[in-house]
């Protein structure tokens, strides 16, 4: 028996060590801070855009008006599938787990005040001032829109909520923040040495959550495409590139380029087929290969190219930018520091060992 | 460090006192604003205290116990608030504080236990968390089938509250199973003199913010979910009592109204809206589900309230059309056809709503039906093929247009309404 357990331990010990190393190794918070800065800035822009037609999104006479909003939140019947073989769908509860200040604040001044406070918290979070509080306020604030204006959300909002959630898990304001600058200033005034920022487990945990979630999104997106006939008949990319609501097909240059391609059937089919194969390989393999340093850069570069294409061809530039923010989580802190220091022409400040 | 210990203790005590005040105020309704403000002020003090205390900890055994004391008291206070301190109408706050209490409970356990059990607990949570993502992803029905039993029930009973709270419910089926054509919402706003004007969303107006365009583009998608089944047929309701179904919504009656609708002359061009022969009725008839019907009514309500004013006229009603913008084929593209030709728009009538938000005519023959915009021969309908039973003109919309022809815009005809002299 002892021998069996010993063998079993030999088998699983490397996996346990790997798991422990993956999730619980202390990490320099620079990567997380970079995600915070760009993620919060983008979230600020996204929510600033609500200012145009704010009441159309969250007011009492919005696209989903007060009565309907409260009905969806409190009374909408929710069905479950049958448990017995012959049982059909059964209504088992009602309402949704939605929470938002905009279910309770209906007067215009109140709405504007809440909106302004949320924007301010996002801006402060990007700057890294009172980071634990402004971070939480930013996440809760963003939630107020996605849980209330449910008829106008799209993929960008999903990604924004993911970024704002995970960035709370670690010390995102430990570097490159006003908080850090204030600590340094106080230390200087008192003539005390300021302890360097230590690598932390929570920074690593937050970054790993973000990385794994991103990889899972790719996996889900890639494998679900395998159910579609257009992905097998190599016509799916046509449907994306010729989509008149997203693609800039009203631009003569874009239309002309596609038309020239379509005039040569072989060129068209080669382009579309390779685009599909590339997309599927990238999305499905990402979650398996990105953890290997030999593949990481190739996959991250390919993902960057994919989202650049989505941004340019489909007009989803903000969505693509938020995906770039998520991709930052795959950049090691040393790389980010090197890039920043080369951009600034000097050694970066406020970092580990500086 | 001592300063942070002290300030966190003061803030924590203050927060608890304010919360206690909020619970007491909840017994009276005379000061609702103070009650609500005290709820959030107390939460702010306690949050500040916890962050300060957390930052000051040295993770020694006694210090961890002290920190756990803070989190457990805060958790208990949050639970008490959920069950007695937060007014009924502040449902969001109840949900938020409930979530915070669960989080506080988890945090207390993680603080108290040693490193290895802490890692094990966190690992179990990671598995649970991404298990939720997988459940969300797997519970979507594949085309023509049903999602897995286990995933559906895990979603319903375990993950729905958890993922909804964090807004992590997306299944990430982007562009799958197949990328579809975009949908638009077009509104024919009718005025008291019988005139009407079009409002179309979304539109690519110059100077418009891209984000606003993307959000409005999402509206036609989110405001329409098709009823998962076609209406019951007469044979399907044969065993039911009369009060268990609506006679008007039996499929045979719906289809009969549609056929009779093709016998009505419409004022625009004085033509008839033909029966379409080469598209399956499952595609031609798209009834929204009950929630979507409410959503469309709300959308109509907003359009009516925002509609441009006309001198001396009042807004009477709005007809909603959900328009699927079909995409070019590569062949059409190679021939230089514009993606914006009118035949590429497939409108479906979603109902006419009055200023009270009520549907004007639930018996409209074209309710939820496709209205073709096609090029028909110049001789139409004189030499058009006829339905053998009704004798009404029929048309195959996917056949190539013959020359000479004219555009039969059934959308415009329907928006304008029937001609005064009508039935054949």
CB contact under 8 A, A153 and B184: no
pLDDT of residue A315: 81
Which comes out higher in pLDDT, residue B22 or B186?
B186
Report the 10 Å Cβ neighbour count for B36. 19
Closest-CA residue in chain B for A56? B302
Task: Name the band, by pLDDT with cuts 50, 70 and 90, for residue A347.
Answer: low
B30 has a pLDDT exceeding 90 = no
d(CA B133, CA B152): 13
Rounded to the nearest angstrom, the minimum Cα separation between A105 and chain B is 10
Place of tokens 């029905």: B141
Place of tokens 């038309």: A259
**Intra-chain end-to-end CA distance of chain B, in Å:** 91
Task: Name the band, by pLDDT with cuts 50, 70 and 90, for residue B37.
Answer: confident
**Per-residue pLDDT averaged across A204-214, rounded?**
98
pLDDT of residue B20: 83
B90 has a pLDDT exceeding 90 = no
The neighbouring-strand residues paired with A90 are A80
CB contact under 8 A, A242 and B328: yes
**pLDDT tens by residue, A291-313:** 999 999 999 999 999 999 999 88
Percent of chain A with pLDDT over 90: 86
Least confident of A330-339, B97-106, B270-279, B311-320: B270-279
Which comes out higher in pLDDT, residue A288 or B57?
A288
d(CA A341, CA A327): 20
Place of tokens 């008949």: A233
Percent of chain B with pLDDT over 70: 96
d(CA A47, CA A204): 28
Q: How, if at all, do strands A90-94 and B275-276 pair? A: unpaired
**Per-residue pLDDT averaged across B26-48, rounded?**
79
**Per-residue pLDDT averaged across B39-49, rounded?**
89
CB contact under 8 A, A318 and B211: yes
CB contact under 8 A, B167 and A158: yes
**Per-residue pLDDT averaged across A322-351, rounded?**
85
A87 has a pLDDT exceeding 80 = yes
Closest-CA residue in chain B for A62? B302
d(CA A175, CA A328): 16
Contact yes or no for B333/A239 (Cβ under 8 A): no
> To probe the interface with B, which of A20, A48, A60, A63 has the most B CB atoms within 10 Å?
A63
Token output for B123: 């690992």
Contact yes or no for B23/B84 (Cβ under 8 A): yes
Which comes out higher in pLDDT, residue B365 or A347?
B365
B149 touches chain A (CB under 8 A): yes
Least confident of A97-111, A180-194, B285-299: A180-194
pLDDT of residue B267: 73
Cα dihedral across residues B239, B244, B247, B250: positive or negative: negative
B85 has a pLDDT exceeding 80 = no
Per-domain residue ranges of chain A: 27-185, 206-331
Instruction: List, in order, residues 6 or more apart from B211 with CB less than 8 Å away.
Output: A45, A46, A49, A318
Percent of chain A with pLDDT over 70: 97
**pLDDT tens by residue, B167-179:** 999 999 999 999 9
pLDDT of residue B27: 67
**Per-residue pLDDT averaged across B61-81, rounded?**
91
> To probe the interface with A, which of B91, B107, B336, B346 has the most A CB atoms within 10 Å?
B91
**Per-residue pLDDT averaged across A241-254, rounded?**
93
**Per-residue pLDDT averaged across A164-187, rounded?**
96
Partners of residue A238 in chain B, C-beta under 8 Å: 327, 329-330
Which comes out higher in pLDDT, residue A200 or B389?
A200
**pLDDT tens by residue, B299-347:** 999 999 999 999 899 999 999 999 999 999 999 999 999 999 999 999 9
Residue A24 has its nearest CB partner, among B95, B119, B325, at B119
Closest-CA residue in chain A for B215? A152
pLDDT of residue B380: 82
A208 has a pLDDT exceeding 70 = yes
pLDDT of residue B422: 46
Token output for A255: 């239309």
- Within the 54-113 window of chain B, which residues sit less than 8 Å (CB to CB) from chain A? 89-93, 95-96
CB contact under 8 A, A220 and B137: yes
pLDDT of residue A351: 46
A196 has a pLDDT exceeding 70 = yes
pLDDT of residue A353: 37
> To probe the interface with A, which of B215, B228, B342 has the most A CB atoms within 10 Å?
B215
Phi-psi region of B270 (alpha: psi -120 to 50; beta: other; left: phi over 0): left
Partners of residue A229 in chain B, C-beta under 8 Å: 177-178
Contact yes or no for B67/B54 (Cβ under 8 A): yes
CB contact under 8 A, B214 and A73: no
d(CA A148, CA A78): 18
pLDDT of residue B424: 43
Partners of residue B160 in chain A, C-beta under 8 Å: 78, 97
Which comes out higher in pLDDT, residue B268 or B404?
B404
Contact yes or no for B142/A227 (Cβ under 8 A): yes
Partners of residue A71 in chain B, C-beta under 8 Å: 294
Phi-psi region of B269 (alpha: psi -120 to 50; beta: other; left: phi over 0): left
> To probe the interface with A, which of B45, B333, B356 has the most A CB atoms within 10 Å?
B333
d(CA A282, CA A271): 16
**Per-residue pLDDT averaged across A147-171, rounded?**
97
- A–B interface: beta-carbon pairs under 8 A: 221
Q: What is the CA radius of gyration of chain A?
A: 24
Residue B325 has its nearest CB partner, among A99, A244, A268, at A244
Cα dihedral across residues A154, A160, A166, A169: positive or negative: negative
pLDDT of residue B2: 64
pLDDT of residue A346: 65
Least confident of A189-198, B168-177, B358-367: A189-198
Task: Tell me the angle at which helices A201-225 and A2-24 cross, rounded to the nearest 10 degrees.
Answer: 100
Contact yes or no for A62/A242 (Cβ under 8 A): no
Rounded to the nearest angstrom, the minimum Cα separation between A51 and chain B is 10
Please compute, for residue B75, the number of CA atoms within 13 A of its CA located in the half-sphere on the CB side. Answer: 16
Which comes out higher in pLDDT, residue B128 or B406?
B128
**Per-residue pLDDT averaged across B249-263, rounded?**
93
Query: Could you write out the DSSP letters of every residue in A106-157?
Result: -SHHHHHHHHHHHHHHHHHHHHTSSHHHHHHHHHHHHHHHHTT-TTS--HHH
Task: Name the band, by pLDDT with cuts 50, 70 and 90, for residue A63.
Answer: very high
**pLDDT tens by residue, B267-291:** 766 788 999 989 999 999 999 999 9
B390 has a pLDDT exceeding 90 = no
A131 has a pLDDT exceeding 80 = yes
**Per-residue pLDDT averaged across B119-123, rounded?**
97
Contact yes or no for B167/A163 (Cβ under 8 A): no
């Amino acid at each position: 028996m002892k021998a069996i357990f010993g063998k079993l331990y030999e088998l699983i010990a490397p996996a346990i060590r790997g798991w422990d190393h993956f999730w619980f190794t202390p990490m320099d918070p620079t990567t997380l801070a970079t995600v915070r800065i760009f993620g919060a800035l983008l979230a600020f822009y996204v929510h600033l855009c609500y200012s145009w037609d704010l009441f159309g999104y969250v007011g009492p006479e919005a696209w989903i008006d007060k009565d309907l909003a409260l009905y969806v939140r409190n009374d909408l019947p929710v069905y479950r599938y049958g448990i017995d073989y012959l049982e059909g769908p059964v209504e088992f509860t009602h309402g949704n787990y939605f929470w938002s200040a905009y279910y309770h604040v209906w007067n215009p001044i109140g709405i504007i005040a809440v909106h302004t406070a949320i924007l301010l918290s996002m801006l402060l979070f990007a700057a890294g001032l009172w980071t634990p509080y402004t971070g939480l306020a930013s996440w809760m604030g963003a939630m107020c829109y996605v849980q209330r204006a449910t008829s106008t959300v799209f993929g960008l909002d999903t990604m924004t909520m993911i970024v704002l959630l995970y960035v709370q898990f670690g010390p995102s304001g430990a570097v490159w923040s006003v908080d850090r600058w204030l600590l340094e200033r106080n230390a200087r005034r008192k003539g005390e040495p300021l302890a360097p920022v230590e690598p932390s487990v929570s920074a690593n945990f937050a970054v790993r959550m973000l990385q794994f979630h991103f990889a899972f999104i790719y996996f889900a997106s890639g494998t679900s495409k395998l159910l579609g006939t257009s992905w097998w008949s190599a016509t799916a990319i046509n449907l994306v590139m010729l989509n008149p609501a997203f693609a800039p097909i009203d631009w003569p240059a874009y239309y002309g380029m596609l038309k020239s391609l379509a005039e040569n059937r072989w060129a068209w089919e080669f382009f579309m087929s390779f685009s599909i194969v590339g997309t599927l390989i990238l999305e499905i393999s990402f979650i398996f290969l990105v953890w290997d340093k030999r593949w990481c850069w190739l996959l991250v570069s390919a993902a960057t190219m994919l989202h650049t294409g989505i941004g340019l061809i489909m007009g989803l530039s903000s969505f693509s930018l938020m995906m770039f923010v998520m991709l930052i989580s795959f950049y090691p802190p040393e790389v980010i520091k090197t890039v920043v220091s080369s951009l600034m022409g000097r050694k970066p400040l406020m970092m580990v060992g500086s | 460090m001592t300063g942070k210990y002290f300030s966190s203790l003061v803030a924590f005590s203050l927060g608890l006192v304010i919360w206690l005040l909020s619970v007491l105020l909840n017994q009276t309704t005379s000061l609702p604003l103070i009650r609500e403000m005290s709820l959030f002020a107390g939460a702010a003090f306690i949050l500040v205290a916890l962050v300060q205390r957390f930052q000051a900890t040295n993770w020694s055994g006694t210090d961890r116990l002290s920190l756990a004391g803070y989190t457990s008291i805060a958790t208990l206070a949050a639970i008490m608030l959920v069950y007695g301190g937060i007014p009924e109408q502040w449902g969001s706050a109840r949900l938020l504080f409930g979530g915070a209490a669960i989080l506080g409970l988890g945090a207390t356990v993680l603080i108290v236990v040693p490193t290895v059990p802490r890692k094990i607990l966190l690992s179990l949570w990671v598995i649970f968390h991404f298990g939720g993502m997988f459940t969300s992803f797997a519970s979507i029905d594949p085309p023509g089938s049903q999602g897995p039993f286990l995933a559906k029930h895990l979603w319903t009973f375990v993950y729905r509250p958890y993922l909804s709270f964090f807004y992590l419910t997306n299944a990430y089926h982007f562009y799958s199973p197949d990328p579809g054509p975009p949908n638009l919402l077009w509104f024919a706003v009718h005025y008291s003199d019988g005139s009407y004007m079009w409002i179309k969303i979304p539109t690519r107006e110059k100077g418009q913010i891209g984000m606003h365009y993307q959000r409005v583009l999402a509206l036609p998608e989110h405001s329409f979910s098709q009823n998962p089944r076609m209406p019951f047929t007469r044979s399907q309701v044969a065993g039911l009592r009369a009060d268990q179904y609506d006679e008007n919504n039996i499929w045979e009656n719906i289809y009969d109204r549609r056929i009779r609708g093709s016998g009505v002359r419409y004022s625009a061009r004085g033509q008839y809206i033909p029966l379409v022969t080469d598209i399956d009725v499952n595609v031609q008839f798209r009834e929204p589900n009950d929630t979507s019907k409410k959503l469309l009514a709300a959308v109509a309500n907003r359009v009516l309230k925002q509609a441009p004013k006309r001198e001396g006229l009042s807004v009477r009603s709005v007809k909603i059309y959900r328009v699927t913008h079909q995409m070019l084929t590569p062949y059409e593209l190679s021939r230089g056809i514009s993606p914006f030709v009118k035949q590429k728009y497939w409108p479906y009538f979603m109902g006419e709503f009055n200023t009270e938000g009520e549907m004007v005519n639930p018996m409209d023959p074209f309710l939820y039906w496709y209205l073709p915009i096609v090029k028909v021969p110049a001789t139409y309908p004189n030499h058009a093929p006829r339905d053998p039973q009704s004798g009404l003109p029929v048309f195959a919309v996917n056949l190539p247009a013959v020359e000479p022809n004219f555009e039969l815009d059934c959308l415009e005809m329907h928006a304008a309404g029937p001609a005064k002299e009508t039935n054949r």
